[in-house]
Amino acid sequence: GAPATREGGRFRALATPPDTDGTFAVGITAADRSGNVGVAELVFFRDGTGPEVSEITVENSVSAGGVQWVGSTPAKLVVVAGDGAGVGSVTVQGIDGPVTLQAKGDRFEGHVALGAAASEVWVTATDSVGNASTKAVWVGVDTTPPACELEALADAGWTRTAGVTLIGTAIDAEGGGVTVRPNGPGVSGAALGLEATGDFSVPAVLGGEGDAAVSVWCEDALGNGAPSNNIVVHFDKTPPTVVPVAPPAGGVVAYPTGTLGFRVDDASPVLWATAGSVGDPATSATQGAALWTAVLPIRRNEPGVEFRAGERSRLVTVRSTLPDPGTAGAAAVDRSAAFRALAESAALEGVAWLTLGQ
């Protein structure tokens, strides 16, 4: 043991414990001039180690790429720290300087201002005897919506069904998950969650016939969202309207070869039209400013002429003409009312019947 030095009515001695943390006992012996001896023991705990920071959590964050991303700043940090001597304080270095967290048991909580870019945020825990330890966590602020690009539909966006499939790419700068859902006036469809950014395919339902500006709404896990680009979808489930006009000039049909004409009206672009005597191969019609026309052989006792037209959304309408044997040499006459029942029973789409004269 080390001898004590007298300081007034007190004695002081320097005792050096082992250089390790732990509990130690020091024996103290005192003797008077008569040889009487007194013994005492002092037990103490040596602590030279800072607190253990076991957990750092950023509330309402999303972890991606080793970074805890939050959608706004300041962010709430929760630190779990423990120490045998008791944790005295926990501070976090924010962009505005150190912030002392509030103690709640072994948890320490507080709001810390963060920078826009991902960076290391250092946490310092100090125990009751002044030992300190530090630990860092990567935190970033993400307020940017995912970048979404929607591809144009095939066939220039023309469709005859309300259900379409939207295809595109959603990229989140931080690499987290993205949710996409159909978007646009009258457009509906279930949201699709992507675990990682990349290509997607999501079903959508159009509200009604006509042109619709369709997009997808893309949102990351932090709630940052924005629409993609718009694509135009042409929804047309109504077949073309075909009106025979024979001949187009309003006169009689020539014999043995005559020009027959018909008008095609439709919301979709008309891709093709044909005309032909019943039972004969169809002849391609030529589109003019007002009418489609076809040059056909005209027979006596003509059994009838069929006009057909196909539109962009792949619907086809058939219109037929039928000669009236009692009016040879007369001009063409519309007989659609007389043959309406026959048209409905044959399940033809709006068949019009026309008398041909020669």
Report the amino acid identity of residue 169: T
**Spatial CA neighbour of 71 closest among 1, 18, 144:** 144
Q: Which residue has the tokens 């964050």?
A: 61
Least confident window among 61-75, 143-157, 292-306 = 292-306
CB distance 81 to 108 below 8 Å: yes
Most confident of 20-34, 105-119, 180-194, 232-246: 180-194
- Residue-averaged pLDDT of the chain: 78
User: Average of pLDDT values for 194-207?
Assistant: 89
Report the amino acid identity of residue 33: R
pLDDT at 247 > cutoff 80: no
Say what percent of the chain tops pLDDT 90: 29
User: Average of pLDDT values for 23-35?
Assistant: 78
pLDDT at 16 > cutoff 80: no
CA dist list (Å): 231 to 16, 183, 266: 80, 11, 22
User: Average of pLDDT values for 265-278?
Assistant: 78
pLDDT at 302 > cutoff 70: no
- What is the Cα 56 distance to its own chain's centre? 31
- The sign one gets for the Cα dihedral 147, 153, 154, 156 is negative
pLDDT for 314 equals 62
3-state percent breakdown (helix, strand, coil) of the chain, nearest 5: 5, 55, 45
pLDDT at 45 > cutoff 50: yes
Q: Say whether 358 sits in a helix, a strand or coil.
A: coil
CB distance 301 to 277 below 8 Å: no
Helix runs in the chain, H state only: 340-345
pLDDT tens, 107-135? 999 999 988 788 889 999 998 888 899 99
Say what percent of the chain tops pLDDT 70: 77
**What residues does 193 pair with on adjacent strands?**
179
CB distance 304 to 336 below 8 Å: no
Most confident of 126-140, 155-169, 214-228: 214-228
pLDDT tens, 335-356? 333 333 222 222 223 333 344 4
